[in-house]
Amino acid sequence: MLKIFQRLWQVNWAEQWQYRANLIMYLLYWLVSPIIYLAVWTSIANSKGSVNGLTANDFVTYYMTLLIVDQITSNIVIHTFAYKIQDGTLSGELIRPIHPMLTNTLVNNIAFKTLPIMGFIPIWIILFFLYKPDFSNVALNGILLAIPAMMMGFFVGFLLSAAITALAFWTTRVYSIHEFYFALILLFSGQFVPLTLMPKLIQDIAQYLPFQLLIYYPIQLILGKLSNAQIVQGYVMGVVWLVVAIAIFSWVWRNGVKRFSAVGA
Amino acid sequence: MRTLKLLSAFLKVNVQMSLAYRADTVVNILLNIMWLGWELLSLSIIFNNTETIGGWGFGELIALLGVFRLVHTLMIALIWPNTEKFNQSIRDGSMDYTLLQPINSMFLVTFSRITVWRVWDLVLATVLIVVGINIAGDIVTPLSLLTFLLLTVSGAVVIYSLWIVLIALTFWFTKFDNNVTILQALLDAGRYPVTVYPVWLRILVTFIVPIAVATTVPLQALRGDLVVSRALMFIGISIASFLIASRVWKAGLKQYSGASS
């Protein structure tokens, strides 16, 4: 099994290097909206002194950490897989003795992230000198705790996206469903603002949803803003949602594949 | 006249194409309303914590959202679908047939696909602009309204011209599939007044990928923030950029040699 993953990695990694030009565009995508939010909120915090207890530095550190966390926990399954179901190219992968989603697509996603991560290190350093954030609250144990949390977040997000992608076995409108899912992420993950600035109702709901595991929870872990009880709660939510996500994905996948009759077959 | 006739023919074809996917249209309109809800919520979250950003109030940000949606519609209803078709035609050589038509190829390439239902976005944008300006209580004079309209059009022309240049580059670098991604990536910067942004981002979205010229600038005119000479300058820039873009397009066509040859 390990050998299979190793081989898939080599293939997918080599494939990523074909699209070097895309990298610049991708980095731009990744950079623009957090920088916009950062600019908006620091300008407000500077004029007011603080926003709901958050200073300009809090916003700078939040969004600069978000750039890293989002890169690690996000995935592109819908873009690399849904069309295979729709145009039937999935057939070729289904006859292989390995799971198409949990091996090839998973490795492809990781390879896809790794190249931009290398590209963004210099950009992040430039931003660091531009904004001179004060990261003095960041402690080693926060980062160590955040690493498994981000992996958990990635897998929860990956499995949920994979389950939504697999809805393509039933409907051609899978992209619309995914757009709706994406809106939920924006609303509940902390991508737009630190969740404490959201309306109370949204905060209360967000606590129990998986989306904050992708963004808000790892960021707060890294920035050392959580009490021990909150850290434990986050991990418990992570494990619970991981189990739920596995269950949802395997159910959708099993039933979906049964319905699959490849186009042109 | 011929141009208008062609345009209405394109519209007719596109209406017919979209009628084949009625349910999709309904779903898309629902999603569109959902995003509007999200945009208004995000503005209300911002203005729960402040009265102004970059010197602009809540009403003005709503109006800016309206102007932003105009540009967004241009992007999504015209630029995306036509670029997709264009890239495909460069790859498989069907560009040959486009060039054989007895009409201006630039016009044909950029207007043959129109996502018709997005027209509804224009209505929505107008409502947002009117409501926003009313909330803000800005005094609109006939002159400021006129400059606003002129600058909105010239902003759209600037973006259209940049688009032409970007897709024309495909004639030189055939594998340039990402030609409009840079526009899309920076588009979101149009949601807020550029006065909030750090200098480098302001320069980027004003001079290099001039999203702000089509969003912040027209609204500045409507607020009466823009001196007439500046307004004339932006109109001049838009005419110049269109002329440059047509030149680049023509030069690009000379490079084109078909996919199979």
Residue B180 phi, psi dihedral angles, 5° rounding: -110, 0
Please enumerate residues of A whose Cβ is less than 8 A from a Cβ of B: 21-22, 25, 28-29, 32-33, 35-36, 39-40, 43-44, 47-48, 51-52, 130, 173, 176, 179-180, 183, 186-187, 192-193, 197-199
In this complex, which of B31, B49, B198 lies closest to A44 when CB atoms are compared? Answer: B49
Cβ neighbours of B197 in A, within 8 Å: 36, 39
pLDDT (tens digit, 0 to 9) for every residue of chain A, 265 residues total? 788 888 888 888 887 777 666 777 778 888 888 999 999 999 999 888 888 889 999 999 999 999 999 999 999 888 888 888 888 888 888 888 888 888 888 888 888 888 888 888 888 999 999 888 999 888 898 999 999 999 999 999 999 999 999 999 988 888 999 999 999 999 999 999 999 999 999 999 999 999 999 999 999 999 999 999 999 999 999 999 999 999 999 999 999 988 887 665 4
Residue B213 lies in a domain: yes
Q: What is the pLDDT of residue A59?
A: 94
> How far does Cα B184 stand from its chain's mean position?
10
Question: What is the rounded average pLDDT of the residues B180-206?
Answer: 88
User: In sequence order, which residues have a C-beta less than 8 Å from that of residue A198 and are 6 or more positions away?
Assistant: A187, A206, B45
CA distance B188 to B172: 29
Give the global pTM.
Answer: 0.89
Cβ neighbours of A51 in B, within 8 Å: 49-50
Q: What is the pLDDT of residue A129?
A: 92
Cβ neighbours of B39 in A, within 8 Å: none
Residue B261 banded pLDDT, cuts 50, 70, 90: very low
State the first-to-last Cα distance of chain B, in angstroms, to the nearest integer.
37
pLDDT of B204 over the 60 cut:
yes
Residue B260 lies in a domain: no
Q: What is the pLDDT of residue A50?
A: 87
- Gap from B205 CA to chain A (nearest CA, Å): 11
Residue B230 lies in a domain: yes
Q: In 3D, which of B195, B191, B197 has the Cα closest to residue B214?
A: B191
**Residue B240 vs residue A95, higher pLDDT:** B240
3 state DSSP class of B233 = helix
Torsion sign, CA atoms A21, A23, A24, A25: positive
Please enumerate residues of B whose Cβ is less than 8 A from a Cβ of A: 23-24, 27-28, 31, 34-35, 38, 41-42, 45-46, 49-50, 52-54, 176, 178, 181-182, 184-186, 188-189, 191-192, 196-198, 200-201
DSSP string, B138-199: PPPPHHHHHHHHHHHHHHHHHHHHHHHHHHHHHHHSTT-TTTTHHHHHHHGGGGS-GGGS-H
Q: Counting one residue from A and one from B, how many pairs have CB atoms under 8 Å apart?
A: 75
Size of chain A in residues: 265
pLDDT tens for each residue of B138-147: 888 888 899 9
Percent of chain B with pLDDT over 90: 38
- Residue B211 structure tokens: 């999203």
Cβ neighbours of B41 in A, within 8 Å: 187
CA distance A214 to A238: 10
CA distance A252 to A134: 45
Nearest CA in chain B to A24: B182
In this complex, which of A21, A44, A186 lies closest to B38 when CB atoms are compared? Answer: A186
Q: What is the pLDDT of residue A263?
A: 60
CA distance A224 to A231: 10
CA distance B88 to B41: 38
8 Å CB contact of B196 and A40 = yes
Question: What is the rounded average pLDDT of the residues B172-200?
Answer: 83
- Residue A118, classified by CB atoms within 10 Å of its CB into exposed (0-12), middle (13-18) or buried (19+), is exposed
pLDDT tens for each residue of B6-28: 888 888 888 888 887 788 888 88
Cβ neighbours of B34 in A, within 8 Å: 180, 183
3 state DSSP class of A51 = strand
Q: What is the pLDDT of residue B259?
A: 65
- Count: domains in chain B: 1
Structural domain containing residue B144: 2-255
DSSP state of A14: H
H or E stretch covering A168: none
Cβ neighbours of A35 in B, within 8 Å: 198, 201
Residue B260 banded pLDDT, cuts 50, 70, 90: low
Residue A258 half-sphere exposure toward CB, CA atoms < 13 A: 6
Residue B77 lies in a domain: yes
Cβ neighbours of B212 in A, within 8 Å: none
8 Å CB contact of A180 and B31 = yes
Q: In 3D, which of B230, B173, B35, B19 has the Cα closest to residue A179?
A: B35
8 Å CB contact of A25 and B182 = yes
Window from A242-251, B30-39, B166-175, B235-244 with minimum mean pLDDT: B166-175
Residue B11 lies in a domain: yes
Nearest CA in chain A to B28: A176
8 Å CB contact of A40 and B31 = no
